[in-house]
Amino acid sequence: MGRVRKNGRSRGMRPVAAAALGVLALATLTAGCKVETTGTAGPGTGTGAATAKPVTRPADDAKAGGDGTGPTAAPSPAPSVRPDPEARTLMSPGDRGGQVRELQARLRQIGHFDRSPTGYYGTVTEASVRSFQGKRGLDRTGRTDAVTWDRLLAMTREPTAMELDPPTTLPVAKPDPRCLTGRVMCISKNSRTLSWMVDGRVLMSMDVRFGSQYTPTREGAFSVYWKSRHHVSTLYDSPMPYAMFFSGGQAVHYSSDFAARGYTGASHGCVNVRDEGKIASLYAQVREGDKVVVH
């Protein structure tokens, strides 16, 4: 019996054990069938279901943090770079206006601009600025930057109305000694100016133009011997309004050509005036017999 029971137990237990092992294997397989995904897991069901953690990925490198773990705020824009105020150009060739006129007047005060202010920043002004910069150890650019302008302001005074808008293009020359007494039209070929003087005092000045090298204006001391308001030249058939003759056919008179073309032309020996208002005023004051000094 015992043997039979033993054999019977042994035989009877094998199917049972086999069945138990099968159930255990099936349970193990079904417990691991829920696969974790990279996104948010769907709702799990049943005991033992695995739930995946949500994973957030940066949309691009600009939004990712330094360690790549998630989004961060967009970087702030770099601050704008302001130009160096010392390098800022205030005036340069081609500019026009009141500030250019002031620049020229101030440069003239200290000997760097040898003519009257025009308000135009041309080659003469550029050369004058370059000269000033070189004397002060600044970059010789010819442009007026903030440093150049500040240095000039410190060395000069506020220009007067006469300095800003003088009556002649070039500075009026020192009067010839013959001009210091009496009533004189004092005319300088060097400064190309005429000054109407009474007893050594200048009452008005104006730009003038002279004859060419082939028809030069005579130099010396003369006197006005004839005045002709609406004169027309008998040699050249050209108008000579406000003519004041002082030497043969040579006279001081208004010239529309001088007014239009400036110093690109020349007279036939006369002293041309281009400002009609000034020559009209001068004509009204000058008398026959008054002196004319051309030097």
Q: Of 111, 102, 146, 147, which is closest to residue 131 (Cα–Cα)?
A: 111
Question: Using CA atoms, how far apart are residues 38 and 257, in angstroms rounded to an integer?
Answer: 94
Q: Can you give the pLDDT at residue 294?
A: 98
Taking CB atoms within 8 Å and a gap of at least 24, the contacts of 257-262 are 258/209
From the list 158, 214, 195, 221, the residue with the least C-alpha distance to 273 is: 195
CB contact set of 241 (below 8 Å; sequence gap of 6+): 229, 230, 231, 253, 254, 276, 279
CA 191 – CA 173 distance, rounded (Å): 6
Q: Are 118 and 103 a contacting pair, CB within 8 Å?
A: no
Q: What is the total residue count of the chain?
A: 295
Would you state the pLDDT for residue 114? 85
Please give the backbone phi and psi of residue 230, each rounded to the nearest 5 degrees, phi first: -115, 45
Query: How many beta carbons lie within 10 A of that of residue 270, not counting itself?
Result: 26
Contact call for residues 194 and 186 (beta carbons, < 8 A)? yes
Helix or strand run (H / E) with residue 261: helix 256-261
- Interstrand relation of 291-294 and 183-188 (parallel, antiparallel or unpaired): parallel
pLDDT in single tens digits along all 295 residues of the chain? 444 444 444 444 455 444 444 544 444 433 443 333 334 444 444 433 344 444 444 443 333 333 444 444 555 555 555 555 557 999 999 999 999 999 999 999 999 998 888 889 999 999 999 999 999 999 999 999 999 999 999 999 999 998 998 889 888 889 999 999 999 999 999 999 999 999 999 999 999 999 999 999 999 999 999 999 999 998 888 999 999 999 999 999 999 999 988 899 999 999 999 999 999 999 999 999 999 999 9
pLDDT at 252: 98
Q: What is the pTM of this model?
A: 0.58
Do β-strands 89-91 and 239-247 pair in parallel, antiparallel, or remain unpaired? unpaired
Q: Are 295 and 189 in contact (CB under 8 A)?
A: yes
Burial of 274 (0-12, 13-18, 19+ CB in 10 A): buried
